Structures are given as structure tokens and as C-alpha cells.
Amino acid sequence: MDKPSRRTLLIAVLAFGTALAGFFVGRFSVPEETEPAFDAPLIGIASLSSADYIRAVRESGGIPVVLPNTDGSVARIDDYLALLDGLLMPGGADIPPSEYGEEPHETVELLDDDRFHFEKALISAWMKKTDKPLLGICLGSQWINVASGGSLVQDIPSEFNVNHRDTDHLVTIEPGSRLSRIFGATEVEVNSWHHQAVRKIGDGLRIVAKSPDGIVEATETTDPDRFLIGVQWHPEKLMPDNTTQAKLLEAFVDAAAEQKKKK
């Protein structure tokens, strides 16, 4: 089968799976006017906890592809690495603290085994074997740090006596960072739904945003040529009304589109 036909078949199969996943989440629809172009970048979404991720990728010009974590199988990960143009690691429950050498705090709610084993293998392979764009949101941001050898604050409220769940607050962004260039600002307001955050920064990463109480809110790679960003907030929940937060998803999809041109 030639390459265009193979891609057509792939998109048709994965689009059906993505639509089905969105249906079971309960909030998925595909308005015809927002359909991305056929040659748009394929954006993998590692697991699905909300159809907001599908909608945000689609509205930013990408083709969303939900990756199945059924049975924790890692058999097709190399195929995903070859076919996808970008990877979005979404929010969810907590990474086992044993991954960074700690016993779990009483507030920790572990990822289910299938999702944990799949996402651990996927993000490790993506970061080590490709230079393709990667965006981590909430848990996804924590995955980036842990996969890079970093550690986490297991429970912000009990350790810092502050709340970062179901609230809004400002974050200050490091001048000159990729994130500050994307937003065109060094201070933005964000939503907040997390009880964990980066403690020890992982290898090859740097902290680029913090909340007023000192909690790490965003990291990015130290490689200036790669798009690799993790944020603790949920820009996908604020789209499309919040045009500032939409810039992050748009920049991510644009970076994936540039990556696709290199194939």
C-alpha cells in the first residue's frame, strides 16, 4: 500500500476510535466546520479522561488520536512513535511514588495499572527515541519530570498549607523561556486542579513558571530546538474562550506540523 493510502486508512481507523472514546466520555461532537485538513499533524493523546483534549487539539488544527492503554500493552508504541507528529500527555490520577524512590502519602490516588504501565513506556520512548513535540498537562507535566529522573511533592496542601485544587491563580513565567514567548507575557492567570507538583527537577528540564506561593507550575526542556513543555494547569478546559491559553495548544500543534514536514 502506498504512503497516502496508508495514511488515509490510519486516520480513518484512529478517528473512529477517537470518536468512540469521546462518545463514552460523554461530550464529543464533531462540527463539520472545525474539521482539520487532511494533511494536519496527527496528535496522540495518551489515554482519555476528558473530551476537552480532543476538542482542544481539533480546534488548534491537529487531528486528535486517542491511544488505547488496554491491558497496559506497549506492543504498538514504536508504531505510534513513527506515525504521530506530536504527543499530548493528559491529566489524571497520581504516579506511584516508588517511581521516584518514595513511599506514598495517604492522599495519593494511584493511576490504574494499565494506564500506568502504558504511559510510563510511552513517554519514556517518546522522550528518548524522538525529538517530536511533547505537551504535558497536569499529570502529564508530572510524567515528564518523573520520566526525566525528577521527583514530586506528593501533597501540596499538607506540605505547604495551600490549596491548588478547584481554584484560579496567577503564575509568573521565566522571561526568555519558550512558554513566555508563546504567551507573549511573563504573568498569566490559570485554572488549578492539582495536589502534586515538581519537587526535584528532572535531567534536561528547567523550571519556567511558579505560582505566588512558590509551587512549580511549568517546566520545559533545556534543548532550544525542541518543543517539550509541561504545565500544571488545564488550558484545554479554558478553550476556546480564553484566547491566551489557546496559544499554548496552537503552538504545540504548529510545532507538530513543522515536525510533520520533516518526514
Residue 155 maps to which CATH number?
Answer: 3.40.50.880
The total number of structural domains in the chain stands at: 1
pLDDT digits (tens, 9 = 90+) for 79-105: 999 999 999 999 999 999 999 999 999
> What pLDDT band is residue 116 in, cutting at 50, 70 and 90?
very high
Helical packing angle, 52-59 and 3-25, nearest 10°:
140
> Percent of the chain having pLDDT more than 70?
86
**Residue span of the structural domain in which 243 resides:** 3-261
Taken as a whole, the chain contains a residue count of 263
pTM of the model: 0.89
**Averaged pLDDT score across all residues of the chain:** 90
| Of 39 and 94, the one with more pLDDT | 94
pLDDT of residue 49: 83
Active site positions, annotated: 138, 234, 236
| Of 211 and 29, the one with more pLDDT | 211
Is the pLDDT confidence value at 228 over 50? Answer: yes
Is the pLDDT confidence value at 29 over 70? Answer: no
pLDDT digits (tens, 9 = 90+) for 155-184: 999 999 999 999 999 999 999 999 999 999
- Cβ atoms of 133 and 106 closer than 8 Å: no
Pair type for strands 42-46 and 187-193: unpaired
Side-by-side strand order, sheet with 63-67: 63-67, 42-46, 86-89, 134-137, 228-231, 216-221, 205-210, 165-173, 187-193
> What pLDDT band is residue 2 in, cutting at 50, 70 and 90?
very low
pLDDT of residue 36: 64
> Percent of the chain having pLDDT more than 90?
81
Question: Buried b / exposed e across 35-56, counting CB within 10 Å, b at 16+?
Answer: ebeeebbbbbbbbbebbbbbbb
pLDDT digits (tens, 9 = 90+) for 185-218: 999 999 999 999 999 999 999 999 999 999 999 9
